[in-house]
Amino acid sequence: MVRVAFDEQIFAIQRHGGISRVFAELAREFETNPDHDVQLQPVNAPIVNEYILRDQPTAQQLVVSPGRHWATTIARSMGRRRHTGPADIVHSTFYLPRMLKDYPQAKRVVTVHDMIPELFPKSRRRLDFLTSKHEYVRTADHVVCISESTKKDLLRIYPDVTAPITVIHHGVGAGFGPTATPLPGFPDNYVIHVGMRQDYKDGATLFRAFAQIASGYRDLQLVLVGGGPITAAEKQLLTELGIETRVTQTTLREPDLPGAYTHARMCVFPSRYEGFGLPALEAMASGTPVVLCDSSSLPEIGGDAAWYFEAGDDAVLAKQMAAVLDDRETTEARAAQALQRAASFTWTNSAAKLAGVYRQAIGGH
């Protein structure tokens, strides 16, 4: 049995969010599946993360309690004494320098999710300026990357990394599938986009492409899920394009996402850069056609089951969207192919590969 300590960093920072969701899914796998032969050590900390707090068995295993605000929970983590309990592996969930002092006797594993702060400096959040990602990967005993694209970018930006690097793709939740129930209040005929839309996420390219096909599909709507309310700048662009009445934004609870994907005509993901691209995989697992930017990790996820366009090319994106709507035979065939491809991305597989990394790090097989 490998004793593994997840530090509390990301659970103290994120109430919701991609990185904390990944670690919550892995924690659940290790807690419920003895085949992985991994025993998670107590965190003993207040956190704000709802993925963990709503899952009582995992919360009890990690010994966590609800915190009031991320600023106070992360401040508590920064000020506490270092962890020195029994652990063979410490798996860092973020890159704050204080946590490099934890579990000095343990082997260190770190996951690199993307190189967005390094490649897109304008996207950096306040916490990104306090992190020491380079030091984490430079001193790690093993590095995990969530895609081959992220691994390539990591080595290009930090060529001094000498630790073994293993690529472990994300899984997709069991709730995503082609039989999910439609959501009340959603239009009958819509294109879906999930996530942020600003900067490299390139929502503007999707708006311009949708405007090019809107007149040919008069009842088609564009539904934006998450990413915050439509901004003033977005409203201005939508008005200039003449589609302001055809685009809506909504925020959904996690259990409602499968229904939103399943009944969409397609999911469009125009982002110029992704470390992985979980919404693309979720849409594929829902039997929904996906149109992806042909960049970074997205072709790695979509394979031959998606439609592609070059970054920022709204004319080609519009053409691909029309192809999904018009070519029923090809659309149905690729949607079935996407379902089959998505079935190989499971959290059980991800956890099993990660358990192998832990054993390798401590000298096992």
Q: What does the block give as tokens for 99?
A: 């946590």
Q: Which tens digit of pLDDT belongs to each residue from 285-340?
A: 999 999 999 999 999 999 999 999 999 999 999 999 999 999 999 999 999 999 99
* DSSP-based three-state secondary structure for 286: coil
The residue whose two tokens read 């897109």 is 120
Task: Phi first, then psi: give them for residue 169, nearest 5 degrees.
Answer: -70, 155
For the chain, the domains span 2-171+346-361, 190-342
Q: What is the CATH number of domain 190-342?
A: 3.40.50.2000
Do 101 and 79 form a contact (C-beta atoms < 8 A)?
no
Q: What does the block give as tokens for 76?
A: 């508590």
Buried (b) or exposed (e) across 337-351, using 16+ Cβ within 10 A? ebbebbeebbbeebb
Q: Which tens digit of pLDDT belongs to each residue from 20-47?
A: 999 999 999 999 999 999 999 999 999 9
- DSSP 8-state assignment for residue 275: S
The reply to whether 2-171+346-361 and 190-342 are identical in fold is yes
- Looking at the DSSP bridge assignments, the partners of residue 40 are 4
**Position 283 pLDDT exceeds 80:** yes
**Position 272 pLDDT exceeds 60:** yes
Q: Which tens digit of pLDDT belongs to each residue from 217-232?
A: 999 999 999 999 999 9
Torsional class of 34: left (φ above 0), alpha (ψ -120 to 50), beta (otherwise): alpha
* Residue 145, amino acid: C
**Position 233 pLDDT exceeds 70:** yes
**Res. 174 pLDDT band, cuts 50 70 90:** confident
Q: Which tens digit of pLDDT belongs to each residue from 190-208?
A: 999 999 999 999 999 999 9
Give the percent of the chain with pLDDT over 70. 99
Of the candidates 178, 303, 299, 183, the residue with the CA atom closest to the CA atom of residue 248: 183
**Position 355 pLDDT exceeds 80:** yes
**Res. 124 pLDDT band, cuts 50 70 90:** confident
Buried (b) or exposed (e) across 284-320, using 16+ Cβ within 10 A? bbbbbbbbbbebbbbbbbbeebbbbbebebbebbbeb
For the chain, what is the radius of gyration of the CA atoms?
Answer: 21
Question: Got the DSSP string for 324-360?
Answer: HHH-HHHHHHHHHHHHHHHTT--HHHHHHHHHHHHHH
CA 9 vs. chain centroid, Å, equals: 17
Helix axes 278-285, 328-342, angle to 10 degrees: 110
Helix axes 18-32, 347-361, angle to 10 degrees: 80
Torsional class of 312: left (φ above 0), alpha (ψ -120 to 50), beta (otherwise): left
- Classified by CATH at the fold level, domain 2-171+346-361 comes out as Rossmann fold (3.40.50)
pLDDT for 148 equals: 98
**Position 126 pLDDT exceeds 80:** no
Integer Cα distance of 212 and 241 in angstroms: 9
Q: What does the block give as tokens for 188?
A: 């009958």
Do 78 and 116 form a contact (C-beta atoms < 8 A)?
no
pLDDT for 17 equals: 85
Give the percent of the chain with pLDDT over 90. 88
Integer Cα distance of 63 and 30 in angstroms: 15
Integer Cα distance of 82 and 61 in angstroms: 20
pTM of the model: 0.92
Classify residue 185 as exposed, middle or buried by CB count within 10 Å of its CB (0-12, 13-18, 19+).
exposed
Considering Cα of 179, then 181, then 186, then 188, what sign does the dihedral take? positive
